[in-house]
Copies of this chain bind each other. A is one copy, B any other.
């Protein structure tokens, strides 16, 4: 029963946040979305905070899985191919859907003042940056790779942010194209591989 309820409640949390925002996502509303009683939340997650943390953990975990899968399925091990896989993983279908994107941004804002969420966010942030950096590092000096990784990460997050905010939701195809174009420019700007 436990894994079923946890999954139901995490999904219901995203649905509620998508519907009315984090501020108005009360335990009563979340429970109603899941078709259960409000008391269940404290029973399985120890309280509302526990449920919110579990929900953010799930989103970041799914995002990491999407990136890892794209990289694994790509036989080409070249830096450009791997960077493309990372970008495409970040704009994976399941991640840019309305509820997930909105919940993600809500947590991001919330993590500014909640240490538990801030830790999760920083771990995810560092993982993305080191993934990008490692690939750029194969093509350019350290400082340059660092800057390229920062620029690409900013583009990815910026597109997510704007996508979460537009009423129509993120245009995944256009976002992917923009991010890939930025990648190409970053690579063309430093065409001197480090042997």
The quantity of this chain's copies bound in the complex is 2
1/0 per residue, CB under 8 A from B, across A99-112: the answer is 00010011011111
A150 and B165 contact, CB distance less than 8 A: no
List A110-141 residues whose CB lies under 8 Å from chain B: 110-114, 118, 121, 125
Q: In the complex, what residues of B have CB within 8 A of residue A109's CB?
A: 22, 105-106, 108-110
Closest-by-CB residue of B relative to A186 is B185
Instruction: State which of A3-11, A26-34, A83-91, A154-162 sits at the interface with chain B.
Output: A154-162
- Answer yes or no: A14 CB below 8 A from chain B CBs: no
In the assembled complex, the Cα of A42 lies from the Cα of B69 at a distance in Å of: 53
A164: which B residues are within 8 A, CB to CB? 112
Q: Which of A21, A121, A157 has the most CB of B within 10 A?
A: A157
Q: A147: which of B105, B157, B161, B181 is its contact (CB, 8 Å)?
A: B181
Residues of A11-28 whose CB lies within 8 A of B: 20-24
Number of interface residues of A (CB under 8 A): 42
A193 and B102 alpha carbons, distance in the complex (Å): 39
A interface, by DSSP: helix, strand, loop or mixed? helix
Chain B positions within 8 Å of A106 at CB level: 109, 112
- Among residues of B, the one whose C-beta sits closest to the C-beta of A178 is B151
Which residues of A does B touch, CB under 8 Å?
Answer: 20-24, 102, 105-106, 108-114, 118, 121, 125, 147, 150-151, 153-159, 161-162, 164-165, 167, 174, 177-178, 181-182, 185-186, 188-189
Sorted nearest first, the 6 A-B pairs with minimum C-beta distance are: A158-B158, A154-B158, A21-B113, A109-B109, A185-B185, A157-B158
21 A-B Cβ contacts within 8 A? A20-B113, A21-B110, A22-B109, A23-B110, A24-B113, A108-B165, A109-B109, A109-B110, A112-B164, A118-B167, A121-B165, A147-B177, A147-B181, A151-B182, A153-B158, A155-B155, A155-B158, A157-B162, A158-B161, A161-B161, A185-B185
